[in-house]
Structure 1
């Protein structure tokens, strides 16, 4: 979706001690004595495995707003010095003469281990009748998509339509049946695995109709869509993993607006809780995005990093109490023996959150938190046994990574 078409994102050791995690009952009592928020325990069951995470990312569309610089690519995709994005979304241009513009950022993203997904907003004009793909052009359109993937060195997956159900878009539209018919006929000839149908609103009926075409479903690697106007929800047992491939929270608010960044944090939590495997923001570099036009990582970017740096592709989400305390939202993940917990605290006060962890053994966590005044601040701590607690900073996102 284009910006124009959618205006619719220690000082003293004593203080440090009071804010760190603790497993012992004495410290727990001290924490609880200073916090009045009603709380429940966040129970994590490491043995109950849910979806496999594919990653977190954003889009770069050079022909619309210019390409990312080398510095911006590093800040976007480095998991040590940047946000740690593991997905890059790009556009398939209508002209082959524009294909090369995509390659520098694609190559850079791949060098950091990111997956590249490509979406076409339109077919070449000769293949369209108004805003519809001609049935007689199915083969030519597939060849166009395949040519693109070859020119840029390959992509992880390709989407033949962007929001085909958004009739006011000004780009190529289609019914779910029409998208399915194309994929059934030409899905093997597009040069990359198919991701589809990428509808506006993550419209359930659109997914269901698309997937009712058994041939198209068989040729679809995963389903994807955008949550403009929708709250993340579980699509049910549809037989495919679900990627959220485009959204922004507000194109009129700076990426450094803390309230908006916290809205995005909760949105990422909701997507993961809904069982989805990926979250992709709109423009990577934009004043309302994770990197601004001056190449600075914004508050939104640091919030995304709380997930992207530490919940890497291939990690699995594990069962966890999603909302154990008023204003507190938790998801948990694992890779081998490593456990990662991401906690969004919407409360405007320090909030104590107790945990239990079953099915995994940890002796401590590296803690990273972002607030309106701190970015990925680190504070490791030790635990003993399967129960521990944490004093969450007011209005914050915290990530715990087991040591």
Structure 2
């Protein structure tokens, strides 16, 4: 290896070929990791628990979701619903309380206000569309605050509460216009006793959130700009206006499943798409949190039997090692076609690098760490035959290491 003083060992690329000679891994451009070039603060990774629509997580499944041992997801964000019926509020307490005990953050989103606060109207071809009555904005803010207080009284301190889940895709729940959202944020959100999330557009529709960013008072009463990524194209992940106007605010991706809800979460290499999606959400969109839809589902991070799926492994390669309080740092994002890399730093000398190789062929990848004093590398890999499997770490010398990224794989490196 040129410039490093000596050749470094390569990580094994998996079981030996049954016959013949394995092709030499192709070589990618160097990944330059710059710990001094800090980007966004990471808040965490997680998913949704909705005890009215599906059954609650069991005690063991709560530990699998929010614990960080072997066979656990290491999630640090739980999203729960604000039920319109207060009689259902207590259903969300047990899982939320356990998530907090395991170090997670809890956020909440409503689908509907209480029925007496709503009215129907005609919206296009929908004759029974639902919206919040304009004379009920203050009462609705109190409803959200009451949920916050209820959860606090039951041992769950909410990190934030949303105004409305997907106000622009509300055929089955409550519609809001961007103007209505701005009005509520301006006039009522300031009375809510925890952080406020808005607008949670279903497809990160910028024309819905732009008015919030362009209204000083609405923005002042918004703490987290939340978005969903259903069908959002990668080229629409960046948000220049948020970069211009969002100083002091957080940017969270609060719901998605990807690439669909019809296939098994263990379908491979399709499940590897999740690794790329998380990568682009953190690097291209610069989200601070990545939150899946249902935690336990056939297409989700946890199988119905309570074990981690391949899609879940794609998230866990981030969630288990990129912990709340880490910062993303500058790193070469795509050193070769179908190869995606990102890097993060925690306290002290801790660095985490995540590499996704969606190509069929193995890739010999050199990582160059600027101004490093780190001396050891640990690594874990997921591919067709392995899931979050520990493997020998590559040697680190002269501030760089070289590793083989197996074809169709995701690998996490921990440097200390």
TM-score normalised over the length of structure 2: 0.88
Counterpart for residue 91 of structure 2: 101
Quick one: distance in 1 between partners of 2:45 and 2:6?
35
Confirm whether residue 160 of structure 1 aligns to residue 170 of structure 2.
Answer: no
Tell me which residue corresponds to 1:51. Answer: 40
Q: Cα RMSD between the aligned structures?
A: 1.8
User: Contact (CA 8 Å) 1:49, 1:318: kept in 2 or not?
Assistant: yes
How far, CA to CA, are the matches of 1:38 and 1:362 in structure 2? 24
- Give me the TM-score of the superposition, normalised by structure 1: 0.90
Contact 2:138 2:188 in 1 (8 A): yes
Aligned-pair distance for 1:150? Answer: 1.5
Of the three residues 275, 283, 288, the one matched with 1:273 is: 283
CA–CA distance in structure 1, aligned partners of residues 212 and 298 of structure 2 = 36
Partner of 2:142: 143
Deviations 1:62-96 (A, max 9, x none): 01001110111111111123100010011000011
- 1:1-400 correspondence to structure 2 within 5 Å: 24-25=6-7, 27=9, 35-81=24-70, 82-130=72-120, 131-153=130-152, 154-167=157-170, 169-232=171-234, 233-236=237-240, 237=243, 238-239=245-246, 240-249=249-258, 250-274=260-284, 275-336=286-347, 337-379=349-391, 380-400=393-413
1:36 CA displacement: 4.8
CA contact (8 A) 2:254 2:289 kept: yes
Deviation track 1:194-250 (CA, whole Å, cap 9, x = no partner) reads 011110110112111122221111111110110111124111213133111111111
Instruction: Return the structure number with greater helix share.
Output: 1
Distance (whole Å) between structure 2 residues aligned to residue 207 and residue 386 of structure 1 = 43
Q: Identify the range of structure 1 (199-208 vs 308-317) with the bigger mean alpha-carbon deviation.
A: 199-208
Contact 1:258–1:372, Cα closer than 8 Å, also in 2: yes
Secondary structure, in 3 states, of the residue corresponding to 1:210? helix
Q: 1:297: how far off?
A: 1.3
- Higher deviation after alignment, 379-388 or 193-202: 379-388
Deviations 1:96-117 (A, max 9, x none): 1110001001101101111111
Q: How many residues align?
A: 379
Where does the alignment leave 5 or more consecutive residues of structure 1 unmatched?
A: 1-21
CA distance in 2, matches of 1:318, 1:26: 25
Alpha-carbon distance in structure 2 between the residues aligned to 1:295 and 1:39: 38
SS in 1 for 2:193: coil
SS of 1:117's equivalent?
A: strand
Whether the 8 Å contact between 1:23 and 1:383 is mirrored in structure 2 is no
Q: Secondary structure at the match of 1:220?
A: coil
CA deviations on 1:166-185 (whole Å, 9 max, x unpaired) are 15x32111111211211211
Residue 53 of structure 2 aligns to a residue whose secondary structure is: helix
Q: Residues 354-397 of structure 1: CA distance to partner in whole angstroms, max 9, x if unpaired?
A: 11110332111110111121121112343111122101122111
